[in-house]
Amino acid sequence: MALVKLFASVLRREPDGCYWLVTPAERGRIEVEDVPFLAVALTVQGEGREQQLIFRTNVDDIVTAGPGNPLRVDTAASGEPVPYILVRDDLEARLARSVFYDLAELGKEEAIEEIRQFGVWSSGKFFRLGELGPDWD
């Protein structure tokens, strides 16, 4: 695990989307299938709009969702949600399925710019998690 954390600390993503391990002496390109990290735990502090959603990654980075570390949810070809959080410097972590389920349990319906949306608040910012279906109660 120490070696994995060391490599994670020198990981960079270039504007063209390529990932590189960059040390003072060397630079090597690596292939990343999706994103380099996995969010494996969620802690909630506070309540309402000022609550903080704090994620721990598989390399023990601690990230609080907010304006500087946004959450986003893409949709896979299968129609399943694919959630991510920005960890640092254009490097993201995909939320583990169990973490996304925990996050979805915290979700609330909000009227944002007069549009009903389902999502969560963290550090004063609303993050949309998905669509509200026609039978949403």
Output the domain CATH number for residue 43: 2.30.270.10
Please tell me the distance from the alpha carbon of residue 110 to that of residue 133, in angstroms, as a whole number.
14
Residue 100: count of CB within 10 angstroms of its CB:
20
Predicted local confidence at residue 113, as pLDDT: 76
Predicted local confidence at residue 125, as pLDDT: 95
Q: Is residue 17 part of a domain?
A: no
Q: Is residue 49 part of a domain?
A: yes
Q: Name the β-bridge partners of 28.
A: 21
Predicted local confidence at residue 135, as pLDDT: 53
Q: Is residue 62 part of a domain?
A: yes
Q: Is residue 4 part of a domain?
A: no
What's the total number of domains in the chain? 1
Q: Is residue 7 part of a domain?
A: no
**pLDDT, one tens digit for every residue, the chain (137 residues):** 998 999 999 999 999 999 999 999 999 999 999 999 999 999 999 998 899 999 999 999 999 999 999 999 999 899 889 999 999 999 999 999 999 999 999 999 988 777 888 999 999 999 999 766 555 45
Q: What is the radius of gyration, based on Cα positions, of the chain? A: 17
Handedness of CA 47, 100, 60, 64 (dihedral sign): negative
Please enumerate in sequence order all residues whose Cβ is within 8 A of that of 62, keeping only pairs 6 or more positions apart, or say none: 54, 55, 56
Residue 46: count of CB within 10 angstroms of its CB:
12
Q: Is residue 21 part of a domain?
A: no
DSSP category for residue 83: E
Predicted local confidence at residue 40, as pLDDT: 98
Which domain range does residue 41 map to?
Answer: 35-130
Predicted local confidence at residue 31, as pLDDT: 95
